[in-house]
Structure 1
Amino acid sequence: MKDKILEEDLLYIANAGGDYEKLYGKSILITGATGLVGSQIVKALLKMNEVKNADITIYAFVRNAEKADKIYDEFAKDKLVYVIGDVGNPVTDETVTLSNGKKISEVQINYIIHAASPTASKFFVDYPVETIMTAVNGTKNMLDLGKEKQSEGVVYISSMEAFGAPDPEKPYVKEDDLGYIDIHNPRSCYPEGKRLCECMCSSYASEYKLPVRIARLSQTFGAGISYEENRVFAQFAKAAMNKTDIVLHTAGKSVGNYCYTRDAVMGILLLLVKGNDGEAYTVAHPEAHITIGDMAKMVAEKLANNEIKVVFDIPESAMTFGYAPDVNMRLNSDKLQALGWKPVIGLEEMYTRMMKSMEYTR
């Protein structure tokens, strides 16, 4: 059954026009194409082809073609090509296979979006070495590919965790307001890895004149989230849907910053064609910031109509679940908005749209 909420979002992106039309007739490679952000980008581009005859060739970098087929089974695939391989390896004719039978050396790649990354906190704690090496090797390989193909634009998907713990007295945190990260905490493999990859992007822009920009994403969710998703926002949504209490394993004091999936995709696509090379842009709704505890309370009261409550079950060690240290920051996205981006969907609507969308995969 087609997800009508996601369909609305994809049509919204496809009909946006303006700067996004610069992508028409181009070829775009997206890594992490079976992940949340990567798959949403691919679907948006496929929808552009469908309703705007955009003639975009989409190279979806995946490890498993069968898994990708399930994700894109409702879309026309005449302009969708799977690049099957591991981003941890240099991209060559020997390391990747294209589903259209061509060789990677034979095709032009006008744009690259590097969205492949581990996302589970427990994975960061259990496999910190793998987390770091996946980030570093994967990013280097994509930057090298962009350099080789003389791509017109590259976007690296970073994370708000790259901010670390900035000055809590600042009312809003901008791109250069980086704070402390404990480099001897194995959980820091993820934010420190993101910082190193951002530095690598800036270095390629400086030394090789590669037109790469960094999209520093806040927590991103919305339509298209599977019911099987287990990140905190999805756990809260499922608790409201199933009328079960929300269980917090921290005191809930960390301030989260959020962005709706549709808004995030539009920001990323805009950065392919606009922005300063080697620079970072925060992708966050400036009004969608709230403590984890208050967000749980909002879901329980407003979305579950006070039929559930918030329960605290705090383990002795935060490492049990791999959660990041508490952070108090409010992200400022003026830099990206100055390019013409405008986030539309607020936090409560993010949840209502996500919950309606999750019903399709329940």
Structure 2
Amino acid sequence: MAHILQKDIESIAVYNLPWQEMRNCTILITGATGLIGSLLVKVLHSVNQKYQLGLRLYAIVRDSEAAEVMLHECDVEFIEQDVREPIVFYGDLHYILHCAAVTTSKLMVTFPVETIQISIHGTENILKLAKEKQVKSVVYLSSMEVYGITDHGLAKVNESELGYLDLKNPRSCYAESKRLCECMCNCYFAEYNVPIKIARLAQTFGAGVNKDDNRVFSQFAKSVISGQNIVLHTDGSSTGNYCYTADAIKGIMLLLLKGENGEAYNISNEETYMTIREMADIVARKVADGRISVVTDIPESSLKYGYASPVKMKLSSEKIRKLGWTPTIGLEEMYKKMIEELTYDQ
């Protein structure tokens, strides 16, 4: 494990959370080879060692061999299965972190049906399991994309300000299925008292991002590493909300242990709110020290890239801040840490 990520994990382990509440508990993480899921496994492994909690970690993955390579340093047992199939789990279960989802835009537009199925059937199976095992807490990882296109007159968007989604656009498969999953979570809480919390993540990156990741932030970072210009395939006017990986993990664990059941929380660093173009300019000027430029190459159709519809929306993080969460890493440092981590072994 490279040094930046290791320092981040150590900082999370000493974060002011009631870790002792999890003593001798069993925790299940889905989507454990994804960015957030893998970081949660690594953090819980570190916390378990540091405080000798006696945790038992289980991770649902599609490929146990790939998971073993990624998480070989962690004491975790892999369950290889598709989350769309019923989940059989033997023994007690106390906490669930449900991270499994399609997160690549191109896959969303190429396989919209499968994107919906993974969200809906996977979440229903997790909620059934949580009900059966009478778990202490569940966190469902949702997304800022559930908001759709909100009122541009809003200074900030809180958790109740849902906007418009174009149901004829296949790319809406992700946001709409996330909305339904959130509704299902709240229905299981209302009818069966399943203790669910919902984390609406801003776009999250930093140390821990895989070198094969091809999302916009990764493309920008790779441009810095290779010394090549950043190429925008849109006009860059869409705004973004971002959060550093370690800050996001702190927020998720805070919700697991201290969040209010049946509630959704934005996890976003408000100071990072800006347009894609502004972010590209910061990366080129400050992160790359002016060695690269930003150029625009807008194709006749951007459908193949799977980009979400342009939005102008600043997420409010007031609700989770009231629980004690404060982001610590700004955008420029997010990139520098990610790039240092990606180039550490080169």
Distance 1:163 1:20 in 2: 32
- d(CA) in 1 for partners of 2:17, 2:186: 27
Distance of 2:160 and 2:109 partners within structure 1: 27
* Deviation (angstroms), 1:165: 0.8
SS in structure 2 at match of 1:288: strand
Alignment of structure 1 residues 187-206 onto 2, 5 Å? 187-206=171-190
When the two chains are superposed, the root-mean-square deviation of aligned CA atoms in Å is: 1.1
Structure 1 length as normaliser, TM-score?
0.93
Query: 1:144 aligns to what SS in structure 2?
Result: helix
Cα deviation, 1:116-172, whole Å, max 9, x if unaligned, reads 000111111111111111100000000000000000001100000001111111111
AA at the equivalent of 1:22: E
- The question of whether the paired residues in 2 share the 8 Å contact of 1:20 and 1:270 is answered with no
| 1:290 partner SS | strand
Q: Is 1:267 the equivalent of 2:254?
A: no
> Partners of 1:21 and 1:344 in 2: how far apart?
24
Report the more deviating stretch, 311-320 or 248-257. 311-320
Q: Which residue of the partner structure matches residue 53 of structure 2?
A: 54
Q: Tell me the distance in 1 between the aligned counterparts of 2:55 and 2:319.
A: 28
Q: Which one of the candidate residues 338, 349, 356 is aligned to 2:333?
A: 349
1:360 match: secondary structure: coil
Match of 1:151 in 2: 135
Pair 1:89-2:88 in alignment: no
In 2, the alpha carbon distance for the partners of 1:67 and 1:197 equals 28
CA deviations on 1:97-127 (whole Å, 9 max, x unpaired) are: xxxxxxx22x211000110000111111111
Task: Deviation per CA, 1:69-123: give whole Å up to 9, x if none.
Answer: 1111233x2xx1112211110112xxxxxxxxxxx22x21100011000011111
Structure 1: runs of 5+ lacking an equivalent:
93-103
Say which of 307, 313, 317 aligns to 2:291. Answer: 307
Q: Supply the distance in 1 between the matched residues of 2:58 and 2:13 (Cα, whole angstroms).
A: 18
Residues 7-38 of structure 1, C-alpha deviations (whole Å, 9 max, x = no match)? 00000111224333322321110000000000
Q: Read off the aligned partner of 1:32 and give its amino acid letter.
A: G
Corresponding position of 1:40 = 39
**Paired residue secondary structure (2:19):** helix
CA distance in 2, matches of 1:146, 1:67: 27
The equivalent residue for 2:22 is: 23
**2:317 is aligned with 1:333:** yes
SS at match of 1:214: strand
Is the counterpart of residue 63 in structure 1 residue 62 in structure 2? yes
The alpha-carbon deviation at position 50 of structure 1 amounts to 2.0
Q: Alignment partner for residue 358 of structure 1, among 312, 325, 342? A: 342
For 1:125 and 1:309, the matched residues in 2 are separated by 30
Distance across 2 between alignment mates of 1:249 and 1:117: 25
Q: How far apart are residue 52 of structure 1 and its match?
A: 2.0
Partner of 1:100: none
Quote the Cα distance in structure 2 between the aligned partners of 1:246 and 1:191. Answer: 27
SS at match of 1:287: strand
Counterpart amino acid of residue 84 in structure 2? G
Task: Look up the match of 1:7.
Answer: 6
Letter in 2 for 1:237: A
Q: Distance in 1 between matches of 2:114 and 2:80?
A: 20
| Identity across matched positions, percent | 49
After TM superposition, the score normalised by the length of structure 2 is 0.98
Q: 2:223 aligns with which of 218, 239, 245?
A: 239
Cα 1:139–1:46 change in 2 (3 A) is: same
Give the CA deviation at 1:353: 0.7
Q: Give the SS at the match of 1:286.
A: strand
- What's the offset of the Cα at 1:64? 1.3
What amino acid does structure 1 have at the position aligned with 2:12? I
2:344 partner SS: helix
Q: Secondary structure at the match of 2:271?
A: coil
What is aligned with 2:152?
A: 168
Contact 2:17–2:254 (CA<8 Å) still a contact in 1? no
d(CA) in 2 for partners of 1:289, 1:142: 33
Aligned partner of 1:72 in structure 2 is 71
Report the residue type matching 1:272 in the other structure: L
Larger mean Cα displacement after TM superposition, 9-18 or 155-164: 9-18
Please give the per-residue CA displacement for 1:249-270, whole angstroms capped at 9, x wherever unaligned.
Answer: 0000110100111111111111
The AA in structure 2 aligned to 1:206 is A
Aligned-partner Cα distance in 2 for 1:22–1:218:
28
Give the whole-Å Cα distance in 2 for the aligned partners of 1:21 and 1:259: 27
Question: How far apart, CA to CA, are the structure 1 residues paired with 2:308 and 2:70?
Answer: 30
The amino acid of 2:155's aligned partner reads: P
